[in-house]
Amino acid sequence: MSNIVEIRWHGRGGQGAKTASLLLADAAFNTGKYVQGFPEYGPERMGAPITAFNRISDKRSYLHCNIYEPDYVVVVDATLLTAVDVTGGLKKDGAILINSSKSPEELRPLLAGYEGEVYTVDAGKISEEELGRNFPNTPMLGAVVKVSGLIPEDQFVKDMEHSMHHKFANKTSVIEGNMKALRRSMQEVKGL
């Protein structure tokens, strides 16, 4: 099915890559899309490399397997660029989004010859400034929506605000910080 968009997330245990993939699935579902969001489980522990996946489509997908040729790759921890084959199978007409203060040009030599689009956003800095802690998943989620264009940005922000109010009903500062982080990451993506 050519209408399926597949995303592979690379992070470390505790950074929220799994949570971000599930939030993206929820947001896409709310726009009427068919979605899958799931992690690859193994011997995970805090700090160990993990992988999560999304399939987003206008039609029902009957695929139930990991994603080996993604349209997009999201790297939540840039140290994985030299530890894991993050570009493995990544389509040339796709893109990779990396959490880094460096420019896409600076990171391209670490991408095993990948010739497609490269984007970066400093999700660590954004989360520390807006949330007071390094939670890169929320800014990475906003950035992947910006890069992919899968969900209209205004609808995505509205949906995430509703989701945050539901999840953090009594923690107004957490809601505000996450929403600021989402919006900032969408504005600060390098490589657009």
Condensed to tens digits (0 to 9), the pLDDT of residues 28-73 reads: 999 999 999 999 866 666 778 999 999 999 999 888 899 999 999 9
Tell me, what's the pLDDT at 94?
94
Task: Report in angstroms the alpha-carbon separations of 141 from 56, 85, 112, 144.
Answer: 15, 21, 24, 5
Domain positions in the chain: 5-187
The domain covering 5-187 belongs, at the CATH homologous superfamily level, to: Pyruvate-ferredoxin oxidoreductase, PFOR, domain III (3.40.920.10)
Burial of 38 (0-12, 13-18, 19+ CB in 10 A): middle
Summarised one tens digit per residue, pLDDT across range 63-110 is 889 999 999 999 999 999 999 999 999 999 999 999 999 999 999 999
**Cα-based angle 151, 154, 157 (whole degrees, multiple of 5):** 85
Which residue in this structure is represented by tokens 């206008």?
58
Residue 2 has pLDDT above 70, yes or no: no
In one-letter notation, the amino acid at residue 179 is: M
Burial of 160 (0-12, 13-18, 19+ CB in 10 A): buried
In one-letter notation, the amino acid at residue 14 is: G
| Contact present, 69 and 7 (Cβ < 8 Å) | no
